[in-house]
Structure 1
Amino acid sequence: MPNLSLDAEMDAMPSLREDRPSITRKDVADHAGVSTAVVSYVVNEGPRNVAPATRARVLESISSLGYRPNAAARALKLGVSELVGLVLSDTANPYFAEFSRAIEKAATDKGLSVIFTNSALVQGQEHLQVQKLVARQVDGLLLGSTEDEPNLDSAREANVRVVMLDRSEPLAGFSSVGVDFREASRVAVEHLIWHGHRRIGLISGLPGGLTTSARELGWEDALRAAGLPLGPVVRGEWGRNGGYQSGMQLLTDPNPPTAVYAISDLLAIGLLRALHEAHIDVPRSMAVVAFDGSSESEFSWPPLTVMRQPVDEMAGAAIAALGRPASAKPEHRSFTAELIVRQSCGCIPL
């Protein structure tokens, strides 16, 4: 089932309706020589059985005429739309692209379709994206919010179940899934300490939130536990360019670190470019470890050592949470990120 962009779909709908003649259920019935009720039974797979020969004739007429059942009308009648709304900050980010694909697969396995929107398209207007999806009568909503306390009034009023994604801790009243970001970051930095590094910097993103703070705290936990001073910290815009600018700033430090923990793959990718341009050898002169574990991290140069988020498992848990009984108590599922060792930390020779 295709993954539809909400804004793109809405923009496209008027022209499609103008250019394509409207084929009705009655047209199909007349073409197949049956009643409209029989067409309804075939389209909705019930409530009454249809003889195989008659069913085949109706399906042939549907195909010949190009009839498309009105999904919205069917949703109103049955009380379900078989649609799941998905809001992520930016599916141009490889991590979120892979997460959305995993969610689509998990939803498809349950007979559901996914309609998504990017909250980053309209800064500070995430609640409007939620409202649009609720207006489309989605059966449930998966929200990877950029806000610690998102506005979900429209979903509450419509009794649309919401499952929060990418959460470092629970949000009262809602089920959620996420990774133990603090613990994962601690493991990442401990790996750099194991390599012998004693001055380990941090590249983070703006604005800060719960997940950002948790990753930064994990970096701090590892250094304090080892009795090491906190290395330099640079915070900039999220993404490759932010990582690049942060890397350039880091290199102006008169005492630069020998290793850096970047709290996202894209920040690390930008950092690598800055290091390459400055002729800094990675990992011999500066080691790098990142968080996320998207496919892009495997194809950077050198390939990044990462803490990989288990997107398939989290996607399955999120879809399962949407299907729990309305009376079920909300729960938070915390997953463990996996250390994937590649060349950027110095474990594997280049």
Structure 2
Amino acid sequence: MRAPEAPAPRSQVTRKDVARYAGVSTAVVSYVVNGGPKKVAPGTEAKVQDAIRILGYRPNAAARALKLGSSETFGLVLPDNSNPFFSLLAHAVEDAAAERGFALLLTNSDGNLAKERRHVRNLAARQVDGVVLASVLFEPDLADLEAAEIPSVLLNHGSESPGFNSVGVDLAAGARLAVEHLIGHGHTNIALAMGTNSGNDFDRREQGWLEALEDAGLSEGQIVRGAFTREGGYAAGLRFLASANRPTAIFASSDMQAIGILRAIHEAGLTVPGDIALASFDGSAEAEFSWPPLTTVEQPVRDMAEAAVAALIGARRGEQPEHRTFPTVLRVRQSCGCAGPAA
């Protein structure tokens, strides 16, 4: 018995073509493509999959979205996808979404509020099923998503925003861990390289730095504010090095800033931690592979991403919004003055 002939080339292969080639009904093809709702015998499923492969059938995503009332897509807005921490975060969100059958649209705001708002409007217009927003503001404007009845979750968000889902860590507690560790090495002149945000909002990492110094009876150290980038850290490092009261230790509010500070210190012919000890915040892979490796406050990226996607799924089911706070971990390496990485 001859196998059915493939149809002549055409603009688009339909589900009927697949059904005819496999010798099954269109309903069976639908069950195979959608993974249900009814089970299909393994042999029949194999015939349908062969037909799909041979004919080059591609399901119509628009038609499926219309039928299901869902695009099966989430949007993600990041402030800087070139930052290794946010790259890691995006990867984790994509994995968490994929496990639940959702694709991810990634956008980058470049730390620009106008660009962030434009991305949010575009995602709302595309009728995505939810938006994960790592905003440049602590209290972003979500009116476009609310008007479109699209659930959202604020990611990498350090405080509760009543009425909205949010996920983050206790920034102040994490900063305290790092600064107290530097104090434990005997440092009394500890500076802060503090990243800035578009709203000029007070960052709780600064609060944690202040609290640790105050509890130890130490005077407030120098603060240099700049971008959460390598360039911002480099500029801060130059200013610290030019100070008449040069700090013996620096806490940087991001790993990228710390990388920039490392360069400034090395260029000055000084050593880390011999001349200046250094600790940072985020826990990116780059912190582990800098020289010396950075002691850093690690955020639980996978847990945060899972919680963000679960919050979107919950919102679609009508669950009440909540703020999820995760603990940080201090990853001790050589930049603080310790001999090696902690076990």
TM-score, normalisation: structure 1: 0.87
Deviation at 1:75, TM superposition (A): 1.4
Q: Distance in 1 between matches of 2:282 and 2:310?
A: 23
**1:69 pairs with one of 45, 59, 62:** 59
Q: Distance in 2 between matches of 1:184 and 1:210?
A: 21
**2:189 pairs with one of 193, 196, 199:** 199
Matched, 1:135 2:125: yes
Deviations, residues 202-259 of structure 1 (Å, cap 9, x unaligned): 1112236588621111111111121211111111222111111111111110110000
Amino-acid identity (%): 53
Q: Distance in 2 between matches of 1:198 and 1:237?
A: 26
Deviations, residues 69-98 of structure 1 (Å, cap 9, x unaligned): 011211110122322211111111010111
Deviations, residues 113-148 of structure 1 (Å, cap 9, x unaligned): 222111228652212211222233322211111122
Matched, 1:113 2:90: no
Alignment of 1:263-274 (within 5 A): 263-274=253-264
1:342 is aligned with what amino acid? R
Q: Indicate if the aligned counterparts of 1:297 and 1:306 stay in contact, CA closer than 8 A.
A: yes
Q: 5+ unaligned residues in a row in structure 1: which ranges?
A: 1-19
Residue 6 of structure 1 corresponds to which residue in structure 2?
Answer: none
Residue 12 of structure 1 corresponds to which residue in structure 2?
Answer: none
Residue 178 of structure 1 corresponds to which residue in structure 2?
Answer: 168
Aligned-partner SS, 1:203: strand
Alignment of 1:55-66 (within 5 A): 55-66=45-56
Matched, 1:160 2:178: no
Aligned-partner SS, 2:192: strand
Q: Indicate if the aligned counterparts of 1:289 and 1:344 stay in contact, CA closer than 8 A.
A: yes
Q: Indicate if the aligned counterparts of 2:332 and 2:340 stay in contact, CA closer than 8 A.
A: no
Matched, 1:147 2:137: yes
**1:299 pairs with one of 282, 289, 293:** 289
**Further displaced range: 37-46 or 334-343:** 37-46
Residue 82 of structure 2 corresponds to which residue in structure 1?
Answer: 92
Pairwise CA RMSD: 2.3
Q: 5+ unaligned residues in a row in structure 2: which ranges?
A: 1-9
Residue 325 of structure 2 corresponds to which residue in structure 1?
Answer: 334
> 1:46–1:105: structure 2 CA closer, same or farther, 3 Å change rule?
closer
Deviation at 1:46, TM superposition (A): 4.5
Q: Indicate if the aligned counterparts of 1:205 and 1:212 stay in contact, CA closer than 8 A.
A: no
**1:285 pairs with one of 271, 275, 278:** 275
Matched, 1:80 2:70: yes
1:343 is aligned with what amino acid? Q
Residue 13 of structure 1 corresponds to which residue in structure 2?
Answer: none
2:119 is aligned with what amino acid? Q
1:25 is aligned with what amino acid? R
Q: Distance in 2 between matches of 1:236 and 1:258?
A: 20
> 1:54–1:266: structure 2 CA closer, same or farther, 3 Å change rule?
same
**Further displaced range: 302-311 or 78-87:** 78-87
Deviations, residues 32-67 of structure 1 (Å, cap 9, x unaligned): 455545433432344566565554333222111111
Aligned-partner SS, 2:110: helix
1:187 is aligned with what amino acid? L
Q: Distance in 2 between matches of 1:140 and 1:45?
A: 23
1:80 is aligned with what amino acid? S
Q: Distance in 2 between matches of 1:216 and 1:49?
A: 56
TM-score, normalisation: structure 2: 0.89
**Further displaced range: 292-301 or 219-228:** 219-228
2:74 is aligned with what amino acid? V
Deviation at 1:28, TM superposition (A): 2.8
1:328 is aligned with what amino acid? E
Equivalent pairs, count: 331
